[in-house]
Structure 1
Amino acid sequence: MDIRAILMGLAFAVMWSSAFTSARIIVAAAPPLSALALRFLISGLLAVAIAWAMGQSWRLTRGQWRATIVFGVCQNALYLGLNFVAMQTVEASLAAIIASTMPLLVALAGWLFLGETLRPQALFGLVAGMAGVAIIMGARFGGGLDMVGVLFCVLGVIALTVATLSLRGATSGGNFMMVVGLQMLIGSAVLWVPALTLETVQIDWSASLIAAFVYTTLVPGLAATFVWVLLVNRIGAVRSATFHFLNPFLGVAIAAAFLGEALRPLDLLGVAVIAAGILAVQLAKIPATGRETVKN
């Protein structure tokens, strides 16, 4: 893994983790599904325009189209849609912690459904990661925790796991920015259905809402997705996912800094255990995949 890949991974981790804080600001003042559908519409059109300017084509391979559709529905519509709804009642830090377990679920799904070997180190990481989640959830049960919101976050991270497993097919063959734009437009199209059916548009306008919407549209929405696609293409999905071990720390820290969310001792312990579990799982998988070619 070269220095460029490391910097890309760190940038992605910061952008991905900050999305929960900006989303929390948005859903406190605007209908969540409508706001998210509009975000993806804007981000998707920008990405497609940039792709055209770069000479990229919407004529994707069959594998790219399949993976792009799955990714657009599972990550953008289901994962983020469920999380935006959940964060009306669930703290951004808790939503980030639950979402950060995705690499653990990817490893578990690979073992259960794809016949991948689960090495002892990876098994330890899975157990540690789930123990960390149990520590955090146990500490919050008596504090008015909204279990429906938590369930939405859990269902969302399962959808994110499916999206992640589909991503490799979307990165082959080039057209990276076009892939990013199309999967956003797919997510937007799916989200507009429940948004227009279930929500009434009532917005509490403020400078913080506008800033949060612009930020989440351009940074986590567009830049982070593009960086992630490039990173996976550069070093592979397994090594790229190693950077997710930073997300529990960053998600909690950013929410505390910008939203004033409490930093509980057991939360910090649980975050450390989850991060250690994610790192153990990913490090265990790297030798088994062989030396992946680094692309310039």
Structure 2
Amino acid sequence: MDIRATLMGLGFALMWSSAFTSARIIVADAPPISALALRFVISGLLGIAIAAGLGQKISLTRGQWFSVVVFGICQNALYLGLNFVAMQWIEAGLASIIASTMPLLVAALGWIVFRDRLSPLALAGLVTGFAGVALIMGTRLSGGVDLTGLVLCVIAALALAVATLTVRSVSGGGNLLMVVGLQMLVGAAALAPFGLAFETHVVTWSWQLVVAFIYTTLVPGLAATWVWFKLVARIGAVRASTFHFLNPFFGVTIAAVLLGESLGLFDVVGVAVVTLGILAVQLAKQRPAGPAV
């Protein structure tokens, strides 16, 4: 892997992980579902406009339209929507750790549902990763973490894992930025009715809220997506996915620095264990799987 690809991977992991901290700032002063729906509208329209400028058209394959609907609902509406709602009650660092387990959940569900073969390294990674999550959860539960927010984050991670498995056989077919923009508009359409029906639209305006909203819209929303596709084109999806192992570390570090969230010894150890588990699972994808486990 060359230096440029390494820097791109680090940049993607940093941008993706920072989204939880900016989201935490947003939901403290604005209705979460409506704010996220507005973010999707802006990001989606910008993405479509940029894609059109690059010559991409809304002429997608059947598999791509399937991806637009599935990921628009599962990733944007369910995964991000539930995380935004949950972060009214739980810390950004904890939300990022739960979300970071998605590669572990994909591997586990693939093994259980589709009977995917797991190498010894992948199996060890699953056990290690979930042990780290259990350590963190045990500490947080004893410390009085809000169960509603915790459950919503777990459901969100499961929704994204199911979506990933559902469309894993769908080919790319080009027009990637156009697909991403359309997915965001689907997410906005799915979230908007709930925001209108169930939320009180009171916003406490501040420069922190404005900066966080602009940052979330442009950086995790568009820039991270663009860097990810560039990275995949450069080194392939399997090798690129290895950078996901950095997400737990970056997520809790950014939340601690910018939001002052506390980190206990068991949190640090748990993050390290989860990180090693995700790395093992991702590295196992780069080598042929052994006999079915």
Q: Shared fold by TM > 0.5?
A: yes
Q: Counterpart of 1:294?
A: none
Q: How big is each residue's C-alpha offset from its partner over 1:76-133, in whole Å with a ceiling of 9 and x where there is no partner? A: 1000000000000000000000000011011112212223111111111101111101
Measure how far apart 1:239 and its partner are. 2.3
Matches for 1:207-286 after TM superposition, within 5 Å: 207-286=207-286
CA distance in structure 1 between the partners assigned to 2:87 and 2:140 by the alignment: 16
- Structure 1 residue runs without a partner (length 5+): 290-296
- Structure 2 alignment gaps of length 5 or more: none
Helix, strand or coil at the partner of 1:172: coil
1:5-16 equivalent positions in 2, closer than 5 A: 5-16=5-16
Q: Cα–Cα, structure 1 residues 164 and 179, in superposed 2: closer, same or farther, change >3 Å?
A: same
Structure 1 residue 177 displacement after superposition? 1.1
Counterpart residue number, 1:40: 40
**Which residue of the partner structure matches residue 78 of structure 2?**
78
Q: Deviation of residue 284 (structure 1)? A: 1.3
1:1-296 maps to which residues of 2 (within 5 A)?
1-166=1-166, 172-288=172-288
- 1:101 alignment partner AA: T
For residue 261 of structure 2, give the secondary structure of its aligned residue in structure 1.
Answer: coil
Q: Conserved in 2, the CA contact under 8 Å of 1:239 and 1:286?
A: yes
Is the CA contact 1:43–1:218 (under 8 Å) kept in the aligned structure 2?
Answer: yes
Q: In structure 1, what is the Cα distance between the partners aligned to 2:75 and 2:286?
A: 24
Please provide the CA RMSD for this pair: 1.5
Question: In 1, Cα distance between the equivalents of 2:102 and 2:240?
Answer: 13
Tell me if the contact between 2:239 and 2:286 (Cα under 8 Å) persists in the aligned partners.
Answer: yes
Does the residue aligned with 1:28 lie in a helix, a strand or coil?
helix
Farther-moved stretch of structure 1 (135-144 vs 230-239):
230-239
Cα separation, partners in 2 of 1:167 and 1:54, compared to 1, 3 Å: farther
More off after superposition, 11-20 vs 156-165: 156-165
> What is the number of equivalent residue pairs in this alignment?
289
- Counterpart CA distance in 1 for 2:169 and 2:31 is 33
SS of the equivalent of 2:285 reads helix
- What is the identity percentage for the equivalent residue pairs of Structure 1 and Structure 2? 65
CA contact (8 A) 1:67 1:169 kept: no
Closer/same/farther in 2, CA of residues 163 and 236 from structure 1, 3 Å limit: farther
Q: What is the CA deviation profile of residues 132-168 of structure 1, one whole-angstrom value per residue up to 9, with x for unaligned ones?
A: 0111111112222101100000000011212333565
